[in-house]
A = this chain, B = another copy of it.
Amino acid sequence: MAGKDVDSTEVLKAGSAAPSIKRRELVAGLVGLSGAAVAGSALSASTAPQRISLDPTRAPGASTSALGNRAGGEQPKRIPLGIISLTPLQDLHGTITPADLHFERHHAGIPAIEAAQHELLIHGMVERTLKFSLADLKRFPSVTRTCFLECSGNLFTNAPEQTTPQMLCGLTSQSEWTGVALSTLLREVGVRPGAKWLLAEGSDAAVMTRSIPIEKARDDALVVYAQNGEAIRPEQGYPLRLLLPGWEGNTSIKWLRRIEVADQSFMTREETSKYTDPLPDGTARQFSVVMDARSVITTPTYPQHIEKGWQEIRGLAWSGRGRITQVDVSIDAGRSWQPAVLQGPVLPKAHTRFTQPWHWDGQEAEIQSRAIDETGYVQPTAKQLLAVRGPGSVPYHLNPITAWRVAPSGEMFYRGDAWE
């Protein structure tokens, strides 16, 4: 098991707090420091003088500050690759992605927007065309919701075995978002009978646009201005983004400036030439916007090096269709599966952390995970996906079971996929 036996002499030296009170006063007198700085420092002073310079109890620490920083040795980073940057999934714990590590996907870079000048126009098939400032929007009833956002192109196909979870599928992140329900704004403008679609438009240089069915807009769409407690970051749409829980990330239009209500889809570039799924028969899936259930093991994975004995297999699972109900883990390359523990609360359309203890015996092995959501959908193998989508498939909406191999040396490797 983890943990080192300690010899009893060392323990006796460490002592307990109670008897150290007198020694503490003695040391305070000897070194001539103020009481606050040396209170309790007798422990190290009297038992381990050779380690004084390494002992953080020997000197007063740093002061409070207006803003904290990460520890020097803890510097998780996104990997920026042109129009995307990837979240370091293997470095993270729990389910919240720190805002500065949330993945990015831009279609023409991050616009610099003056929040005080920014407005959201809602027009088209409405009773009242209205423009909302950010201050206006903040006066409406607010809604807070934790959910994932995933880019539809979230798979590095034909990846080498030296691939981290971040490189493989780091285009998924999770935040606690706050804003106004889009349904509230639609009631405010008064949607006319016959309206079926909305156009959402961003104020980036791509003027990114997507058509949204009015049912989704009325169901759980939000217009959000906050992320993980603070204002949305510029790369996430500051000051305003649409948030469509469970849908492919690009539909959650960033830098949102305009919503037009109409009786049909706008058939923008992003739903005709882009973000469609070509099929083997020459046709293509369109508006395949709901992200299917998926899971990925985040540890142990490449480039970790594990030791024999107990580990914990940890990962994330999520589904755009609702709650994750089960995650199975295999330690024998998919021959047998065991249900993992799901960390609660399990929220709909949200990253769910799963864990599974694993006693590694030092032999070559392959670990996998598969997610099951409340619709009964089971995450497919790459082979199953390939059979449906065909070998010429673009890497959109691919959510294969991912495998990681451990070599007898303890080195972990990505196992590769069916696209190789």
Contacts and interface: CB of A to CB of B under 8 A. Distances in A.
Interface residues of A, number: 142
A64 B36 contact: no
A420 B78 CA distance: 51
Interface in A1-34: 1-6, 8, 11, 14, 16-18, 20
Given A109-B61, A109-B63, A233-B69, A4 B130 contact: yes
A128 B1 CA distance: 12
B101 A141 contact: no
B343 A143 contact: yes
A78 B85 contact: no
A95 interface: yes
Contacts of A109: 60-63
A60 B108 contact: yes
Contacts of A233: 68-71
Contacts of A207: 17, 20, 39-41, 43, 57
Contact of A117 (B39, B54, B70, B345): B54
Nearest to A100: B68
13 contacts: A8-B129, A11-B129, A17-B207, A36-B205, A37-B108, A41-B205, A56-B255, A61-B108, A61-B110, A62-B235, A66-B78, A93-B142, A141-B312
Given A2-B136, A61-B204, A71-B234, 11 more contacts: A8-B129, A14-B121, A16-B260, A18-B268, A56-B205, A59-B205, A64-B80, A68-B99, A68-B236, A139-B310, A143-B343
Interface of A: 1-6, 8, 11, 14, 16-18, 20, 36-41, 43, 54-71, 73-74, 76-85, 91-102, 104, 106-117, 119, 121, 123-124, 128-133, 135-144, 176-178, 188-189, 199, 201, 203-209, 225-226, 228-236, 238-239, 255, 258, 260, 262, 266-269, 309-312, 314, 341, 343, 345, 347, 353, 355, 357
